[in-house]
Amino acid sequence: MDSEQAGTDQSIPLVEHVLEHAARQDGDQAEMPPLVIDQQDEAGVMAVPTDGETGPAPLVIWTPRFIILFVLTLVPGLSLESIFTQAWLVNWITGEWVFLGHIVLIGFCLILLLMVVSSRWILYGAIFGLIWTIFMAINLLIQDIPDMSKISILADVNVVTCLALLGFYICLSVDRLPSDRWDAWFLGLAPLIGVALLAPLFLLWSNRSLYGLENSIATVALMLSALVWWIRPSCWRAAPGPTFLFGVVPIILLLLNIANGGVNANNFFLAHVVLSTSVKFSNREASFFYSQVALLCILLGVMRLIKYEKDA
């Protein structure tokens, strides 16, 4: 009897210890969600629990706030571009003001990118991007100069614009992206690839003057701009969003040039948009709309870079 009572007395502290330990674990688990939520609100990132690690969770770039801003730019942007196209067709608005608005927004975002930039390559890319916006604005101003031959001037501005876009893309595509042997080979051979594309294109061009050479250089610059993003697997793995947004722009412009019989080559971004042309009415409408889409893609891509640099 005494032995049974002693065993019972010895078990009581053990039971109390187990209950106290369980209550402590429940209290810790109950306090954990508010702590995680507070950390999310302060840092603006998603807390990802890791096994055996006590350090900070890895940053998640695509926060809900940015996703909402991105969607609110994409969806109303496409709707407005359709409205602008219809208003332009009935001569309610002029194409210069529509595209000037796109360029101003892109330039503003590039200036914001310069303010938050933490990478040398992104800095160089933003500078090339601002050069691109300046020549786009010059292109628009040329349209309003009356009584002058604009073809040769437009070809000069067009080739510089496309080369600035290529420099913009190269700087962005090599920043903080894992490089493999294919990337090194491609970037090293890019000048030779450009020459290999330029020679047959210029020889097959009907106009073999300086004007035709400038158009050929602009075309090759757009081809390389697309290849810099789309044929490098490292870009798709590390940055699929910017890779698609930036890479689709030269593809759109080259397809519009093919659809319009090569007439766009002297003014890729604004051909059949602010000038009177003899092409079909449906082609002019498509050129106007998809040229706006190309500029919208650049705007969204720069917004994505700003978010990336702020969280880096």
Whether residues 191 and 165 share a domain: the answer is: yes
Whether residues 82 and 160 share a domain: the answer is: yes
Handedness of CA 123, 302, 294, 291 (dihedral sign): negative
Question: Residue 104's domain is classified under what CATH number?
Answer: 1.20.1070
Whether residues 55 and 109 share a domain: the answer is: no
Whether residues 75 and 46 share a domain: the answer is: no
Q: What is the pLDDT of residue 190?
A: 83
Whether residues 111 and 250 share a domain: the answer is: yes
Handedness of CA 88, 91, 96, 102 (dihedral sign): negative
pLDDT of 206 strictly over 70: no
Domain boundary among 44, 60, 76: 60
Q: What is the pLDDT of residue 56?
A: 54
Q: What is the pLDDT of residue 178?
A: 64
Which strand (E) or helix (H) includes residue 223?
Answer: helix 210-230
Counting residues of the chain whose pLDDT is more than 90, the rounded percentage is 27
Domain boundary among 32, 60, 88: 60
Q: What is the pLDDT of residue 33?
A: 42
Tell me the residue range of the domain where 42 lies. Answer: 1-60
CA-to-CA distance for 144 and 134, rounded, in angstroms?
16
**Cα separations in angstroms, 172 against 117, 123, 128, 283, 296:** 12, 9, 10, 33, 18
Counting residues of the chain whose pLDDT is more than 70, the rounded percentage is 71
**Cα separations in angstroms, 228 against 144, 221, 293:** 34, 10, 20
CA-to-CA distance for 20 and 151, rounded, in angstroms?
86
Summarised one tens digit per residue, pLDDT across range 149-191 is 666 788 889 999 999 999 999 998 887 666 677 777 888 888 8
Q: Which residue has the higher pLDDT, 26 or 98?
A: 98
- Cβ burial 276-296 (10 Å sphere, 16+ → b, else e): eeebeeebbebbbbbbbebbb
Dihedral pair phi/psi, residue 175, rounded to 5°: -85, 120
Summarised one tens digit per residue, pLDDT across range 272-303 is 565 554 455 557 788 888 899 999 999 999 99
Whether residues 181 and 36 share a domain: the answer is: no
Which strand (E) or helix (H) includes residue 306?
Answer: helix 281-311
Average pLDDT on 9-26 reads 49
Q: What is the DSSP string of 44-96?
A: -S-----TT--SPPPP-S--HHHHHHHHHHHHHHHHHHHHHHHHHHTTSS-HH
CA-to-CA distance for 261 and 273, rounded, in angstroms?
16
Summarised one tens digit per residue, pLDDT across range 114-138 is 998 888 889 999 999 999 999 999 9
Whether residues 213 and 140 share a domain: the answer is: yes
Three-state DSSP class for residue 118: coil
270: nearest Cα among 171, 166, 144: 144
Q: What is the pLDDT of residue 224?
A: 94
Whether residues 195 and 260 share a domain: the answer is: yes
Whether residues 6 and 73 share a domain: the answer is: no
Confidence category of residue 59, pLDDT binned at 50, 70, 90: low
Whether residues 45 and 159 share a domain: the answer is: no
CA-to-CA distance for 62 and 45, rounded, in angstroms?
8
Q: What is the pLDDT of residue 185?
A: 83
Domain boundary among 25, 42, 60: 60
Angle of helix 181-204 versus helix 210-230 axis, rounded to 10: 150
Whether residues 133 and 281 share a domain: the answer is: yes
Whether residues 55 and 69 share a domain: the answer is: no
Q: Which residue has the higher pLDDT, 207 or 204?
A: 204
304: nearest Cα among 249, 241, 256, 247: 241
Three-state DSSP class for residue 280: coil
Domain count, the chain: 2
